[in-house]
Structure 1
Amino acid sequence: MNILHILKNSLPYISGSTIRSKNILENQKKFANVYAYTGYNFKSDKKYERIDGIEYFRANPKLSIFLRTYNLFIQKIRKILYKFLYININSILSFLEIPISIITRKEIKKLVKGLNIDVIHQHSECQIGSISLRVARKLSIPYIYEVRAFLEDGIIVGSGKWRLGGKRLIRYVYNNIRIPETKILEKADVITTLCGPMKGEIVSRGISKDKIYIVPNGVDIVNINEKVPFNPVLPIIGYIGTIEKHEGISILIKVISLLTFAIPKIKLYLIGNAEDSYLRELKSLTKKLKCEENIVFVGRISYDKVKEYYRFIDIVVIPRLNRRVCRLVTPIKPLEAMAYKTLVIASDLPALRYVIDPYVTGVLFHPEFVTELMNKLTYYINHPIEKLAIECRARRYVEENFSWDKNIFKYKEIYEKLIYSK
């Protein structure tokens, strides 16, 4: 079978989403020919790349620059008119999107025909999703839409950038993102998503639960490099992932500053990309709390270097805030840490409970409770045997439930059902 995955982002850029795509594509090679296409929003100067044995087809680089600029212009008009006149003109402006639709549709259609594609598998992006859906229907090809996040939540979390307040922001997001994506979900042959809370949200939109399948985040089970022996006098805490406000990094920094009184040599490694303004804010906080020597801002690293950091990180903390996006979307971070036999302490939110069994495979704390997080970190730093017991159970749990070796065949069953029922 031949599968075309349509992605918003991909390697060589690193994020939780691109790592999931990498793992899906590479593991699906066990039973299918897999190809990837990235649309005009993906910045690349190449039309074609082969990465780790997977063929990535890029939107025409020269046209993509024009389309990105053109799309920003359309969105700017929408936001200005909505902000000052409080009107939504989607139907009026839709004709302006015709060039984007025609060019993208032509590229996808050419790939589908040229590669003899059996299934189009679109991953979370409603603008390209509506175009790829039309191609699938035109060519009578099964269509899967994978929900990895709810795009409207990302905008609401970062609402400072939009300068629309409260109800107006929510109405804008619903009209321009939630409603169009829901229409795609209604028309898709199958929907895949990451966890129970996300499936529940999709069902709440009136989508039949019978066509929604959960394929959770997973990891490639690795041979663990020998870890640096744990030293409770020199504990190393880590956060690995995109550094954004809703991830609660400021709370973690406050906890580390308090722990320095009892454990002066404690270190926190913050590994991942952050916007410059937020990075300045976090560095200013460390200076204010006088814990600059205890905090290491590593920045973005390549994926193949992650395992080197897990060799010496003793505890991974995921201090997500109690926001809708954090309650619904399960990150890949805890699973990777558990696979590397590293204790995970995370906010007690539904999406994290989906992968963490409290005190069995990890530890949870009430979101945004600084004292509770500090106490739990202190406890497991001072009780290494209990820490090790959880780490060993977590590793087995990931092997049994979140290994791509096993979970990838959920896709095979879905694809075969769609192809042979045509």
Structure 2
Amino acid sequence: MPPNTPRILHVLDHSLPMHSGYTFRTRAILKAQEALGWQVRGITGLRHTAAGPDAEEAEGLHFTRTRGDVGGPPAIREWREAGLLADAIGELAKDWRPDILHAHSPALCGLAALRAGRKLGLPVVYEIRAFWEDAAVGNGTGQEGSLKYRLIRALENHVVAGADRVVTICQGLNDDLVARGVPAGKLSIMPNGVDLALFGTPAPRDGALAAELGLGDGPDAGPVIGFIGSFYDYEGLDDLIAAMPALITRHPDARLLLVGGGPMADALQAQAQASPAAYAIRFVGRVPHDQVERYYALADIMAYPRKASRLTDLVTPLKPLEAMAQGKLVAASNVGGHRELMEHGVTGTLFPADNPAQCAAALADLLDARAEWGAMRQAARAHVAARHDWARNVQRYQDVYQSLLRRNQDGLSTAA
């Protein structure tokens, strides 16, 4: 970076102290950038709903909150929401004076950054973590091809066209943008990753917790298949529950541990209660973030049976990487997002999506192959360290930022 370290203002939907995959990726990026000596701050829009002061420190990171109320019909309301965030960016810039605005999806954050960037004369990086029209379909709040879907897609295209550089978290999103006509030279990939400094020696198995959940303890305890995350339809947990009768036919002592909650929680519990394998399925509900490692430690295999869709084919999830970093075996459906993260039989096990029978067979085969577990765990951990450690990946931002700062400086020199 230039001798005078530039200031990067991250424009965000929400942030810590709220907990989500979105905020954890943000934390990893900002912490890794700070470790390189960069100056960073975050500013959130109206969708950050946690109570707190206008200027807040969370886990050592500094965030500014946007305040205000918006009304009106859909589209007009969102336009005003982006306007409030753009105004807040302008106010913060008077004192903190950022050199680059780095907006993160959804597109409303990108729109606000574009509007502020034009007024301030600052370059804008727009980072896409998912296409939010597809995410809405995946979580049941939208329908593919609907007017709302098309409007969000059009807004996304507008922001991508206006941004100086565009970053995606994976190859699938990158390729989709190229197919839309976005110049490949405008795009960069910043892969999803984990902070390996947070994953040292995995937590030991908590025998008391295992006994409390009826999972057994000691050498006679059966294998545990785990899932920790949000219970959305696209996660395919209904297929995992449907796979359990066939799995326990081959491995009668196998148990399924489901930790989390979400829109599908009630339906999944009803399905499990009606299953002949009901006795082998445990629901824990949501647990505090600082307790999650205790539940990871109970599982032998973490399962991610995502259904096939545009969302799951284009986007790489974070959870399998965290599991591999924790030294867990990973079994996942062969959707595009999973294929980009792991190699079947080397760093993980892949099985056909939307197919409980194949899911059960893959899990049973993996349980039969205990002699290979050590090598697979080591290969998975090495893969994460080489390709998905934030301490390394964050340096990819350096080329993006440098190119924009040089271009901005050249423009100022020409104007002078």
TM-score per shorter chain, which class? Answer: 0.7 to 0.9
Instruction: Describe the superposition over 1:141-175 as per-residue Cα deviations: whole angstroms up to 9, x where unpaired.
Output: 1100001001111223345x55x7xxxx5141343
Q: Which runs of 5+ in 1 are unaligned?
A: 76-89
One-letter identity of the residue aligned with 2:308: N
CA contact (8 A) 2:256 2:281 kept: yes
Structure 1 residues 266-285: aligned runs within 5 Å: 266-275=254-263, 278-285=264-271
Distance 1:28 1:293, change over 3 A: same
10, 13, 17: which one aligns with 1:12? 17
Distance in 1 between residues matched to 2:282 and 2:93, nearest whole Å? 47
Distance in 2 between residues matched to 1:232 and 1:323, nearest whole Å? 40
86, 108, 133: which one aligns with 2:89? 108
Distance in 2 between residues matched to 1:123 and 1:103, nearest whole Å? 16
Structure 1 residues 375-414: aligned runs within 5 Å: 375-414=361-400
**Structure 2 match to 1:135:** 116
CA contact (8 A) 2:138 2:232 kept: no
One-letter identity of the residue aligned with 2:64: F
59, 64, 69: which one aligns with 1:57? 64
1:43 equivalenced with 2:49 (yes/no): yes
Q: CA RMSD in A?
A: 2.1
126, 129, 153: which one aligns with 1:145? 126
How many angstroms does 1:137 deviate by? 1.3
Aligned residues: 388
Structure 1 residues 74-89: aligned runs within 5 Å: 74-75=73-74
210, 214, 223: which one aligns with 2:185? 210
**Structure 2 match to 1:83:** none
CA contact (8 A) 1:232 1:382 kept: no
TM-score (norm 1): 0.87
How many angstroms does 1:339 deviate by? 0.8
CA contact (8 A) 1:156 1:170 kept: no
Distance in 1 between residues matched to 2:286 and 2:17, nearest whole Å? 12
Distance 1:128 1:313, change over 3 A: same
Distance 1:101 1:218, change over 3 A: closer
CA contact (8 A) 2:203 2:294 kept: no
225, 241, 252: which one aligns with 2:202? 225
1:32 equivalenced with 2:25 (yes/no): no
One-letter identity of the residue aligned with 2:130: A
Q: Which runs of 5+ in 2 are unaligned?
A: 1-5, 206-216, 409-416
How many angstroms does 1:406 deviate by? 0.6
Q: Going by fraction, where is helix more abundant, 1 or 2?
A: 1
How many angstroms does 1:309 deviate by? 2.1
Distance 1:29 1:265, change over 3 A: same
One-letter identity of the residue aligned with 1:212: L
How many angstroms does 1:51 deviate by? 1.1
One-letter identity of the residue aligned with 1:108: I
CA contact (8 A) 1:16 1:241 kept: no
Bigger CA drift: 42-51 or 27-36? 42-51
CA contact (8 A) 1:15 1:242 kept: no
Instruction: Describe the superposition over 1:45-104 as per-residue Cα deviations: whole angstroms up to 9, x where unpaired.
Output: 2222211110111122xx2xx33xx2xx522xxxxxxxxxxxxxx6xxx4x666435433
**Structure 1 match to 2:28:** 23
Distance 1:204 1:284, change over 3 A: same
**Structure 2 match to 1:183:** 158
1:197 equivalenced with 2:197 (yes/no): no
TM-score (norm 2): 0.88
Distance in 2 between residues matched to 1:23 and 1:377, nearest whole Å? 31
**Structure 1 match to 2:298:** 312
% identical equivalent positions: 31
